[in-house]
Amino acid sequence: MVQVAILGFGTVGSGVAEVLTKNREILARKAGQEISLKYILDTREFPGNPFEEKLTHNFEDILHDPEVKVVAECIGGATIALEFVKKLLAAGKHVATSNKEMVATHGHELLELAKAHNVNFLFEASVGGGIPVLRPLAFDLAGNEITEVAGILNGTTNYILTEMLEKDAAFDAALKEAQAMGYAERNPAADVEGLDACRKVCILSALAFGTHVYPDQVSTEGITSISAEDVEAAASAHMKVKLLGRTLRTPAGKVCSFVAPHFVPVTSQLYHVDSVFNGIVVRGNAIGEAMFYGPGAGKLPTASAVVGDMIDAVWHLKERRNLDWQEADPTAMADFADLALPYVVRTTASLAEVEAALGEATALAAGGYLLKNPVSRRAIEESGLTLLAVRPVFQ
């Protein structure tokens, strides 16, 4: 039997406790031994909760208990959670986490620490909620040279955009629903301003290209500037507005990582990813294109990924999974503003004026111009046109 603990009894932590309990027998078979939940750390009381007797307010109980081998970190953020995780890894305990902020800002450092102490630091739940994508990217697709990873990485914003398109819902009402369903971050600005997707791009980029990318190296635009005109212009061209996080290798061999609302054509698999679902496209020189799809947020889907990591850690208590990446290299990063992409621009200018400034274009039925040739965002912004919206098109 192996004893485990959970840090944080919020949405994800309580989901992990539930999955560990309701699937106890299945997990014992899959992990090769019984997984027994010994502690749950939280500052709050939970009177009458079935897990009440597991509750501790003292992190040291877990840190200094030699029976506890694997810990699920579900507190979130990169302050107290980071301090706890560092101590756990240094004490030789394996950690599984759903904490994208911590991995995006300290992933390299934590993987080095895990390596030094021969323990696992696993974080499948940090990207795509319940969708298995990081392990496939790190292990199953290791035979590829990855050229791009692009995805709908935030369930809350995808839910809002879907409600706006399909039900003409108001932005604020859709956001409130996403919050009520437990999808949104504690501060939903992290969702709607793109920061949550940005953190996930950092993690995907590190696994795809082997070098840490910090959030401030990712050009990030959320969905607050999306208007009904954008949604209509996209629909008139058989496209949908989707918030995409992308990291790709440029023709010059640099890595460019960005989050921006895109126009996604009906021919793309991502067009069909709606509501709280996430979809992540991986392009590689052997696989071609693969897409990972599923529930990108929510209590039990996220818990599913955390518990999967805990089982993996139980299998690798002695010999850690070989997972790491290099420290960030700012010289290897390209500026998003210089990346040539297909674009739609909405502007007060005429087709002739757009073509004179940016080359051949097609007028969309509900407004906006689809530029025929890829151009950089910098070129569009320096074109002198009065711009209402500038949206890359995903191809």
Q: How far apart are CA 183 and CA 71, in angstroms?
A: 23
Interacting span for ligand HSE (CB under 6 A) from 14-22, 148-156, 220-228, 250-258:
148-156
DSSP line for 23-90 = THHHHHHHHSS-EEEEEEE-SS--TT-TTGGGEES-HHHHHT-TTEEEEEE-S-SSSHHHHHHHHHHH
Query: Quick check: 121 binds ligand HSE (CB under 6 A)?
Result: no
Q: How far apart are CA 256 and CA 234, in angstroms?
A: 25
Interacting span for ligand HSE (CB under 6 A) from 21-29, 132-140, 151-159, 209-217:
151-159
User: How is residue 200 written in tokens?
Assistant: 């996930």
Query: Quick check: 347 binds ligand HSE (CB under 6 A)?
Result: no
| Structure-token match 């599984």, residue found | 96
Smaller CB distance to ligand HSE: residue 233 or 276?
276
Interacting span for ligand HSE (CB under 6 A) from 60-68, 82-90, 111-119, 184-192:
184-192
Nearest-approach distance from CB 2 to ligand HSE, in angstroms: 27
What's the CA angle centered on 377, arms 188 and 245, to 5 degrees? 35
Secondary structure class of 387 (helix, strand, coil): strand
Query: Quick check: 293 binds ligand HSE (CB under 6 A)?
Result: no
Query: Quick check: 155 binds ligand HSE (CB under 6 A)?
Result: yes
Query: Quick check: 130 binds ligand HSE (CB under 6 A)?
Result: no
Give the total of residues touching ligand HSE (CB under 6 A). 11
Q: Which position's Cβ is nearest ligand HSE?
A: 156
Query: Quick check: 154 binds ligand HSE (CB under 6 A)?
Result: yes
Q: How far apart are CA 88 and CA 95, in angstroms?
A: 7
Interface with ligand HSE (CB under 6 A), residue from 175, 184, 354, 358: 184
Query: Quick check: 75 binds ligand HSE (CB under 6 A)?
Result: no
Interface with ligand HSE (CB under 6 A), residue from 103, 297, 305, 310: 297
Other C-beta atoms lying within 10 Å of the C-beta of residue 235: 16
- Check: CB of residue 78 under 8 Å from CB of residue 53: no
Query: Quick check: 194 binds ligand HSE (CB under 6 A)?
Result: no
Smaller CB distance to ligand HSE: residue 284 or 301?
301
Binding mask 195-224 for ligand HSE (x = CB under 6 A): -x----------------------------
Query: Quick check: 191 binds ligand HSE (CB under 6 A)?
Result: yes
User: How is residue 23 written in tokens?
Assistant: 């699937």
Nearest-approach distance from CB 156 to ligand HSE, in angstroms: 3
Query: Quick check: 185 binds ligand HSE (CB under 6 A)?
Result: yes
Nearest-approach distance from CB 243 to ligand HSE, in angstroms: 10
Query: Quick check: 294 binds ligand HSE (CB under 6 A)?
Result: no
Smaller CB distance to ligand HSE: residue 180 or 252?
180
Q: How far apart are CA 197 and CA 23, in angstroms?
A: 31
Which residue in the list 100, 200, 242, 299 is annotated as catalytic? 200
Element (H, E) at 300: helix 299-315
Query: Quick check: 124 binds ligand HSE (CB under 6 A)?
Result: no
Question: Is 200 labeled as catalytic in the residue annotation?
Answer: yes
How far from 57 is each of 35, 45, 65, 295, CA to CA, in Å? 22, 9, 14, 32
Q: How far apart are CA 197 and CA 44, in angstroms?
A: 29
Query: Quick check: 183 binds ligand HSE (CB under 6 A)?
Result: yes
Q: How far apart are CA 135 and CA 210, in angstroms?
A: 14
Q: How far apart are CA 216 and CA 201, in angstroms?
A: 11
Q: How far apart are CA 130 and CA 128, in angstroms?
A: 6
Query: Quick check: 392 binds ligand HSE (CB under 6 A)?
Result: no
Smaller CB distance to ligand HSE: residue 9 or 183?
183
- Catalytic machinery residues: 200
Contact residues: ligand HSE, CB under 6 A = 129, 154-156, 183-185, 191, 196, 296-297
